[in-house]
Amino acid sequence: MARFKVRELRSTDVDGLLAFEVRNREWFESQIDARDPAFYSVQGVGEHIEEYLCGLAQGAWHPFVIEDADERIVGRANLKSINPAQGVAQVGYRVDQQLCGQGLATLALKHLIQQAQVRWQLRQLVAYVFKENIGSRKVLDRCGFLLEEPAANQPAQSEYCLVLAL
Ligand SMILES: CC(C)(COP(=O)(O)OP(=O)(O)OC[C@H]1O[C@@H](n2cnc3c(N)ncnc32)[C@H](O)[C@@H]1OP(=O)(O)O)[C@@H](O)C(=O)NCCC(=O)NCCS
């Protein structure tokens, strides 16, 4: 695991992030909602990074990447919709298909939890995961997230909501 590290997203990550997202596009689209096709270009990823870094400056987002020993981007993890008043944020992550099953998402989620506590002083993290996404459920369970039971009168959802009290 020492071969990998989690660091903040940078404005200079355009080429590395584009390569990562293009390499894994089919894989991600089989697991989670597809991105706008315009995203898959230097301009699209450049705007995406700019938007995330603006979100960081405003205290609404905290974006990270996972890097291998050659400084190649092999995963991403984000604190999203940070709400300091309520002390809550959402988590999201994705890992290069070739490197799945080696604990990278778990490494990244632990980093998000630590940042949520230390940097943002949050009280709760929330995750939404498609019911059939067994791998992501496993990562969340391992990091202590608990299933939020839907209200009795709510219609059936395609996603689970899981919550971690910090
Ligand atoms: C979900 C995802 C992030 C997991 O990344 P990862 O680096 O493989 O995660 P980890 O290695 O930390 O842990 C995954 C665990 O789930 C297990 N797993 C993965 N798919 C599984 C499946 N279909 N059935 C059973 N177990 C599964 C792995 O074996 C591993 O468990 P183990 O450590 O006990 O062997 C990765 O598959 C991914 O990027 N998927 C596409 C994007 C996505 O779904 N993001 C999450 C949105 S909520």
Ligand 1 pocket mutation, candidates 26, 66, 136, criterion most atoms within 8 A of CB: 136
Please, what are the domains in the chain?
5-165 (3.40.630.30)
Q: Give the C-alpha separation, 52 to 91, whole Å.
A: 14
Q: Which atom of ligand 1 is nearest to 96's Cα?
A: 39
User: Which residue has the least CA distance to atom 44 on ligand 1?
Assistant: 31
* Predicted model pTM: 0.95
State residue 157's pLDDT score: 78
Q: Is the CB of 104 under 6 A from ligand 1?
A: yes
pLDDT, residue 10, reads 98
How many other CB atoms are found less than 10 A from the CB of residue 32?
14
pLDDT at residue 1 in the model: 67
Which pLDDT does position 138 carry in this prediction? 97
The pLDDT, as a whole number, for residue 154 is 75
Which parts of the chain register pLDDT below 50?
none
pLDDT the model gives residue 156: 72
Phi/psi for 55 (5° steps) reads -60, -35
Selection from 102, 60, 58, 99 nearest residue 78 by Cα: 60
pLDDT at 94: 98
Greatest pairwise CA separation for the chain in angstroms: 51
